[in-house]
């Protein structure tokens, strides 16, 4: 077992039984160039017309693309739908690599920010303020009111077909 850091209603696992290091260090360079675009969300007509994230993404689309890169098949859901989903995801009391982390200014999943647990207290996310992907630690989230309430973690249980 690895070190655990308590953070809100979940604990972040610093490693995953030694199987992988921080995931953000192994992402292709193109992931760091995806621009933030709030109009490009799961189910949006703009995304259906041009699925490539080079045109931009919101927080969910970016997080889902990271998971797809690692072979998972996240559902194309907005925050509240993701939180209530029981088909493609499960709630994780201890966040592990590639879990989706939801945080908000309130305990509501509606409109919650979606990020990816990247390991070693690293949380990878795309946010409007920066306009590009960023890696933060848990304290960076709690220090900002709009992200200060951790709703919890969701683990994608479906893998892509080969």
Give tens-digit pLDDT for 101-141.
999 999 999 999 999 999 878 999 998 888 899 999 999 99
Query: CB-based burial of residue 137 (10 Å sphere; 0-12 exposed, 13-18 middle, 19+ buried)?
Result: middle
DSSP state, residue 17: T
Cα 142 to Cα 158: distance, rounded to the nearest angstrom: 30
Three-state SS string across 37-67, please? CCCCCCCCHHHHHCCCHHHCECHHHHHHHHH
The alpha carbon dihedral of 50, 55, 59, 62 has a sign of positive
Vertex 121 angle, CA 82 and 128, to 5°:
55
- What's the pTM? 0.84
Cβ–Cβ < 8 Å for 36, 54: no
| pLDDT tens track for 21-58 | 678 788 999 999 999 999 999 999 999 999 889 999 99
């Amino acid at each position: 077992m690895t070190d655990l850091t308590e953070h809100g209603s979940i604990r972040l696992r610093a490693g995953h039984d030694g199987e992988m290091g921080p995931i953000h260090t192994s992402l292709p360079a193109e992931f760091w160039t995806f621009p933030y675009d709030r109009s490009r969300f799961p189910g949006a007509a703009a995304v259906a017309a041009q699925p490539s994230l080079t045109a931009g993404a919101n927080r969910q689309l970016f997080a889902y693309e990271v998971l797809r890169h690692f072979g998972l098949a996240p559902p194309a859901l907005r925050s509240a739908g993701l939180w209530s989903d029981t088909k493609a995801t499960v709630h994780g009391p201890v966040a592990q690599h590639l879990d989706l982390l939801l945080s908000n200014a309130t305990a509501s999943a509606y409109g919650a920010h979606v990020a990816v647990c990247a390991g070693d207290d690293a949380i990878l996310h795309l946010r409007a303020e920066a306009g590009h992907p960023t890696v933060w630690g848990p304290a960076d989230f709690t220090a900002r009111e709009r992200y200060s309430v951790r709703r919890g973690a969701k683990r994608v249980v479906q893998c892509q077909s080969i």
